[in-house]
Amino acid sequence: MTVEVKADRALGWTRADTIRTSIAAAVAALLLGAAAYLGWTDGEGLGGSNAAFMLLIGAGLGILFERGRYCFFCIFRDLFEKRNSRGMYAIFISIAVGMIGYAVIFSTRVPNPSSGTTPSDAHIAPVSLALIIAGLAFGLGMVISGGCIAGHLYRLPEGHLRSIPALAGVVLGFGLGFLSWDTMYSNFILDAPVPWLPAGGGYTTAVLLQLGVLVGLGIWLLKWNPPVTGRPDRRVDGEEVRRLLFFKRWPALATGAGVGLLAVLAYYKDQPLGVTSQISSLTRTGMTELGILQGFMPGLDERLAGCVAVVIHTITTNGWLILGIVLGSFAAALPGRRIRTEAATAWNSTTALAGGILLGWGAMIGLGCTIGVLLSGTHAMAASGWVFGVAVVVASGIGFRLNLHRRANPTGFAA
């Protein structure tokens, strides 16, 4: 298969472009103003001293997600439906960059990884049947709902209205996950091993091992990386710069490197990347106050790492990260004319809700999503990241091959 590049149309400038760009500038100013306020007040009562930093990290992620189409749903759909693997290289490079950065941080915090001590603040989780089931549920939910949790957060500002029932389903899924947690934990997770690759041979060996896997996968997927023909000659001028910044999809390698770098900065300053902690914690808080859940939950309140939910009554740094993703993606989409409202129907809203429930349940039992477990887990060189990732890929591959995404949303626009 060959991808043919058509000649670019003149962009022009309309009154609507002025309005869109002005709104984008206002959103950017709002983000910077909020970060400045949080910095001046040290985030007192609003997430703490790292609130401003994580808001800006979230904004950067939102821009990268939106402009680079860093969406696991989109990337896996292209892979399985179109036999186009280009998006996968964004994931591979983000894992590589993040892993190397984590290794440097780990070497200062846990100099001897074979000592039996693991970085408690990293997403290094038990590997069990529960993790596999969670990944399968998450992957299937992603196909049916039209996105992973991070994907819904950044695509909602673009007008992807199915993200509303999908995110509502995520909350319901978290609730069901909490209700089934004791059973899953006692039967599968309690005595499960917690493999951490550096513990077996040191950081260098772990890094080289994961790099080898990534390189091997990258070479294998080259067969689904179609050549590009018909690329027109371009003159670098104002319109071309505008086209590259706001209209053309950013290169996969640059996008992935940016995501990996932000992940390292987030972990160094605050905590590993993840987009479920605030949502799941608010869900748990509400269920606890309603008397649906007990106050103490084994594992979650004792020993497990990941996007673990705790009872809270305020916004956390993870909440600021989520807000930054939403606002950053909105500001990035506006100048490129990518705000398009997708019609919500009874059918596609119902399927989005059902898919969201699977996403939420999978994220609860798996202690995170494709960002918090797959990315942050592989960054930390934890086997749990790879196991969850493989399960998600298998389930999504089956779902795409069965055209569940098209059956769930037959009239939707392509992401």
Q: DSSP letter string over 336-358?
A: GT---PPPP-HHHHHHHHHHHHH
Q: Is 4 among the domain residues?
A: no
- Which span out of 58-72, 107-121, 295-309 was modeled with the highest average pLDDT? 58-72
Q: What is the DSSP string of 9-73?
A: PP----HHHHHHHHHHHHHHHHHHHHHHHHHHTTTTTTT-TTHHHHHHHHHHHHHHHHHHT--HH
Cβ proximity of 102 and 264 under 8 Å:
yes
Total-model pTM: 0.95
Q: Is 369 among the domain residues?
A: yes
Count how many Cα atoms sit within 13 Å of the Cα of residue 21 in the half-sphere of its side chain: 9
Instruction: Please report the pLDDT score of residue 227 as a whole number.
Output: 74
Q: Is 102 among the domain residues?
A: yes
Burial of 233 (0-12, 13-18, 19+ CB in 10 A): exposed
Q: Is 278 among the domain residues?
A: yes
Match 């000592």 to its residue by tokens: 115
3-state helix, strand, coil in the chain (%, to 5): 65, 0, 30
User: Is the per-residue pLDDT at 5 higher than 90?
Assistant: no
User: Is the per-residue pLDDT at 31 higher than 80?
Assistant: yes
User: Is the per-residue pLDDT at 413 higher than 70?
Assistant: no
Q: Residue 314: pLDDT band by 50, 70, 90 thresholds? A: confident
Quote the CA–CA distance of 318 and 208 in Å, as a whole number: 31
∠ at Cα 172 (169, 177), nearest 5°? 120
114 secondary structure, DSSP code: G
Cβ proximity of 194 and 128 under 8 Å:
no
Cβ proximity of 137 and 169 under 8 Å:
no
Q: Is 263 among the domain residues?
A: yes
Q: What percent of the chain has pLDDT over 90?
A: 82
Q: Is 1 among the domain residues?
A: no
Q: Is 413 among the domain residues?
A: no
∠ at Cα 374 (367, 250), nearest 5°? 135
Q: What percent of the chain has pLDDT over 70?
A: 95
Q: Is 6 among the domain residues?
A: no
Instruction: Please report the pLDDT score of residue 1 as a whole number.
Output: 53
Domain that holds residue 67: 14-408
Pick the residue with more confidence: 91 or 46? 91
Name 388's Cβ contacts closer than 8 Å, sequence gap at least 6: 131, 134, 135, 138, 366, 368, 373, 374, 377
- Measured in degrees and rounded to the nearest 5, phi and psi for residue 227 equal -70, 155
Pick the residue with more confidence: 411 or 352? 352
Number of domains in the chain: 1
